[in-house]
Chain A
Amino acid sequence: MSLKMPYIRILVVGALICLLPLVLDTFYMHIAVLVLIWAFLACAWNIIGGYAGQHSLGNGLYMGIGAYTVAYLVNRFALTPWVGLLVAIALSAAAAAFIGWIVFRYALKGAYFALVTIALTEAAVYVVSNIPALGGAGGMQMEYRGNSLAYMQFAGQSGYFYMGVLMVVFILLLTQWYKSKRFFYQLIAVRENEDAAEALGVDTVKAKIKANVMSGVLCAVGGVFYAQYFLYVGPRSVFGEVVSVQILIYAIVGGLGTTWGPVVGAVLLVPLSEIARGQLGNSLPGSQLLLSGVVMVLTMLFMPFGIIGAVARLRQRWQHRSATPLVDSQGGEAS
């Protein structure tokens, strides 16, 4: 297989997806945009959670920083969201770097790391809820200023849809490109065995901080897009534990630390939960989160490596059975 193949695959799938608006009605276009938003966020989380193996339960913090920054700047100063995007990137990078520096310098891992990230994202909810300029507990509505790329606002859903496709294609290409780079190898080394990584010259603290910044900035970009699509931001809709968990569910179900896993997870789960919400939302509130919970439990019990991982394992087993071994089982020992 050519080295370019994975990139071509991303571009081809992206191009094919662009045909969807021709066949989808408004309800399904809305779901498609949501799929793209969550796929993007899950891909962003996958960098710190999947590749670096640091399971942040608080990436809503960065998504919220992005969403609130753009909403505030657009509302207060009537700036274009593109400027807001730049400010959001700068703020989230600073926050992710600072938090990463503190948390990883003190070597917090596993459950402790997860708890600190929850505490931070929950603290953000309470902070934002108490700032009147940010709309307090009620959040902020954003004004619709017309169908224009300059305002990052579109009349129908297809504008958001194409932007979402661009974003997801971008993050997939980025991930694929980084996969052959030193940085991602170092992240994987950190995930697999930190002591061994240090002994092989990997500055594990620095690698984790870099991953946190990259993941945080991309989550903020996702948050900007989220705010522009809904034209509303609220403390619990973009910060907080529930959103943070939602971000990572898709990555976990799809396959941690794989390029396509988060996308596969979002493609399968977002429509399911949106349809559940649409069909049962009034009679049975919470049905879509209940579904997420069930899927999470089943994934952990029966395919902890997610859908991509399960498929890869099946394929491997099948190949092992069909291929004649080129070397005997003692291969490594004969010298």
Chain B
Amino acid sequence: MSATPPLSQAPPVKAMPPMGEPPARSAPSALTMRRWRDARRAVAIGSIVLLSPLALSIFDRGTVLGVPSVVLFVFAVWLAGIAITRLLAKTIDER
């Protein structure tokens, strides 16, 4: 019959395995996924704000290499939105 070791005999903190450490190459945690989802929301809201008339009016002046600034701005925001959405779509596991 073995007695329970006293508390003072507990291994030092350094010797204990790290608490809840995920195994190597595991699936992203719920917290990480939540952050990615927050990023997804930010992209959607950011795109709407950047494509609002107010944002466009800021760029509605002058040209760059003969192309109106507002055209460049709209297409740049558009392309950036697509690129970020692709990145997030590949990262976020919906299942």
> Do A and B truly interact?
no
Binding site for B on A (CB under 8 A): none
